[in-house]
Amino acid sequence: MSNGLTNDHYDYAIIGMGIGGLTLGALLAQAGKKVIIFERHEVPGGYGHTFRQGRFSFCAELHYVWDCGPGERVYQMLKQLGLEEEVTFHRLDPKGFDRIVAPGIDYTIGSGFERECRRLSGAFPAQAKALDRYYQTIAKIHRQLYLLPIGFTWRTILAHPGRYSHIIRYLKWTLEDLFNKLEFSPELRLILAGQSAIFWAPPRDLSLVVQAGGVGSYDQGAYYPAQSFMHVMKSLRRKIKQSPGCRTMLSTEIVQIEVANGMARSVTTAKGEQFTADRFLFDGDARLSLDLIGAEHFPTAFRRKLEYEYGPSVLSVYLGLENIDLRQYGFGEANLYWHPKVDLNEVYDDQLADRIPDRPYFFCNAPTLRSHDAVLAPPGCEQLVLVAPCRYDFFRKLRDRSEDDYQAAKMQYTKNLIGVLEQEYIPGLSDHIVEQVVGSPLTNEHFVKAPKGNCYSTPLDPKHVNLRRLNYQSPFPNFYYVGASSCLPGFATIIHFACMLYENLTGDHIS
Ligand SMILES: Cc1cc2nc3c(=O)[nH]c(=O)nc-3n(C[C@H](O)[C@H](O)[C@H](O)COP(=O)(O)OP(=O)(O)OC[C@H]3O[C@@H](n4cnc5c(N)ncnc54)[C@H](O)[C@@H]3O)c2cc1C
- List pLDDT tens digits, range 45-71: 999 999 999 999 999 999 999 999 999
Dist CA 353 CA 315 (whole Å): 14
pTM, full prediction: 0.97
Name residues of the chain where pLDDT drops below 50.
Answer: 1-2
Q: Whose CA is nearest to atom 47 of ligand 1?
A: 448
Query: Which of the following CATH numbers is that of domain 5-50+76-86+226-308+466-506: 3.50.50.60, 2.30.42.10, 3.30.390.50, 3.40.50.2300?
Result: 3.50.50.60
Number of C-beta neighbours around residue 153 at 10 A: 12
Read off the pLDDT of residues 141-185 as tens digits, 9 standing for 90 and up: 999 999 999 999 889 999 999 999 999 999 999 999 999 999 999
List all residues whose CB is within 6 A of at least one atom of ligand 1.
15-21, 38-41, 46-48, 61-65, 253-254, 283-284, 288, 314, 387, 448-449, 455, 483-484, 489-491, 494
Q: What's residue 383's pLDDT?
A: 97
CA of 253 to the centre of ligand 1 (A): 16
Q: What's residue 4's pLDDT?
A: 63
What dihedral do alpha carbons 86, 318, 61, 343 form, nearest 10°? 130
Q: What's residue 491's pLDDT?
A: 98
Pocket probe for ligand 1: among 97, 237, 283, 452, the residue whose CB has the most ligand atoms within 8 Å is: 283
Report phi then psi at 450, rounded to 5.
-90, 110
Q: What's residue 2's pLDDT?
A: 44
Q: How far is CA 374 from CA 49, 93, 368, in A?
A: 17, 21, 9
Nearest alpha carbon to residue 435 among 60, 62, 56: 56
Dist CA 194 CA 192 (whole Å): 5
Q: Give me the residue spans of the domains in the chain.
A: 5-50+76-86+226-308+466-506, 111-213, 312-453
CA of 19 to the centre of ligand 1 (A): 7
Burial 227-244 (b: 16+ CB within 10 A, else e): bbbbbbbbbbbebbbebe
CA of 422 to the centre of ligand 1 (A): 31
Dist CA 376 CA 369 (whole Å): 10
CA of 448 to the centre of ligand 1 (A): 7
Number of C-beta neighbours around residue 296 at 10 A: 7
Which residues does residue 265 pair with via DSSP β-bridges, in sequence order?
none
Which residues does residue 338 pair with via DSSP β-bridges, in sequence order?
101, 362
